[in-house]
Amino acid sequence: MLFDIIRRSIIDFHNGKRKQIVKRNMTFRDIEGKASVFIGVRRCGKSTLLFQLIDDLVSKKVDMKNILYINFFDDRFTELKTKGLSSVIEAYYSLYPEKKGVETVYFLFDEIQEIPEWEPFIDRILRTEKCRVFITGSSAKMLSKEIATAMRGRSLSFEVFPFSFIEFLKFKEHENLVMTTKNRLILQNDFEEYFIKGGFPEVRNSVESDRIDIHQEYFRTIMWRDVIERHNLSNPQTVIQLGYRLMTSCASLYSLNRLTEYLKSLGFKTSKEFVFTVLSAFEDCYFLFSVPIYDKSEIKRNVNPKKIYCVDHSMMSSIDPQINEKKGQLLENLVFSTIRRSSSAIYYYKTASGKEVDFCWIDRSGKKNLVQVSFDLNDEKTRKREVSALFEAMGEINEKSATLVTMNESGVLELEDRTIQIVPAWEYLINFEYSEKSVFQINDLML
């Protein structure tokens, strides 16, 4: 029965109409003999990326029958969890026996981590079949040394996040606007919409009530399937309460002691070790991210409080509507998710006098980049605090430039040989993506 279901699924895929998609702005290398692994939070667009690959292959005259796509979230394939993945390959070659060992076949496996022991299966087909392999998953463990060992180095991993602002503009068909006064207003309006809706593809055309419902369902599914069930965690209500607590305090400092005491104050029996385990599970599924203090000492990075951020700023407001009153936190989270698409080396910085800079992140060249986020600078005390922290940090780490991101303001501040660029958020997001070479177009596949 399972064999017939797989065959029917393959036939339906080859005869079906391909869906229209908004292409993702990603580059990656496709190297013969290695599986390309795309990892990210659920519903962020990983499947769309595989459909984009299919379109690229077909545009290069690859026969559709040489492409096999399987989504392992499909409940028809539940039996594969106990019977293994070999039947997928057997079903495909039973339909097209003439291709085996003769023509290159492109295997695209969506959410493959749902099937136990998938790593040796992928390793085996890379060694024994004439194929290219592309897989997606929603666990950072697919980046781990254990996976690399199981696949004997036959994988390259790439992170996928919800739509960036540039990708949102592409959906709106505004990504190539000439920068006229009128178009600047269009982009500002687009940013205000993006600031409300966020980057999850499913909510792009949704009304507010539907967006909130969709985000809340994502939250529940992530809590249960990606955190509690996948990591076999006891005390599920403790996990959910911790997730809610962190979601409502994004862009704020936390410590294991404070979180543990908070949960105990609500009557939950827990420990610092359990809280640490849950935090690791949140990060594993690309849902919540911890940012340590900038310090050369790993011990100091670990013992100091960390800041917490969510993969999508709009999801925060759907879980806790009151956070809409804290627009500065939402904006800071948005800037974090923008930087995180390019670098995982992100820290917050504290000066010798105790002033804080939101981000000190390190790019591919090794350069340290200081970024402060403030919703507006109308209050003179706020302006002085944000600017003085940046100038002081620049002096301490010997950087000549820094960026202050606001909702709408722009300008330049100079002190001796140091310069702060004040940039409206919509402009910062666009310039960031155009300057970071990790995004934009998908490279030609090596056919």
3-class secondary structure, 315: helix
Q: What is the pLDDT of residue 144?
A: 57
Q: In this predicted model, what pLDDT tens digit does every residue of 257-311 receive, in sequence order?
A: 999 999 999 999 999 999 999 999 999 999 999 999 999 999 999 999 999 999 9
List Cα–Cα distances, 54 to 65, 93, 100, 319, in angstroms: 11, 19, 20, 35
Domain boundaries, the chain: 2-160
Q: What is the pLDDT of residue 446?
A: 30
Q: In this predicted model, what pLDDT tens digit does every residue of 119-175 receive, in sequence order?
A: 889 989 999 999 999 999 887 767 655 565 666 678 888 899 999 999 999 999 888
Tokens (6 digits) for 131: 């194929």
- By the 8 A CB rule, do 154 and 33 touch? yes
Q: What is the pLDDT of residue 177?
A: 80
Q: What is the pLDDT of residue 420?
A: 98
Point out the residues of the chain with pLDDT beneath 70. 28, 141, 143-152, 436-447
**Residue whose structure tokens are 């935090």:** 279
CATH for 2-160 (3.30.1490.20, 3.40.50.300, 3.30.70.1450, 3.40.50.720): 3.40.50.300
Rounded to an integer, what distance in angstroms lies between the CA atom of residue 372 and that of residue 424? 12
Q: What is the pLDDT of residue 438?
A: 40
Which residues touch 215 (CB under 8 Å, ≥6 apart)? 198, 200, 203, 312, 314, 315, 318, 319
Q: What is the pLDDT of residue 447?
A: 30
- By the 8 A CB rule, do 22 and 122 touch? no
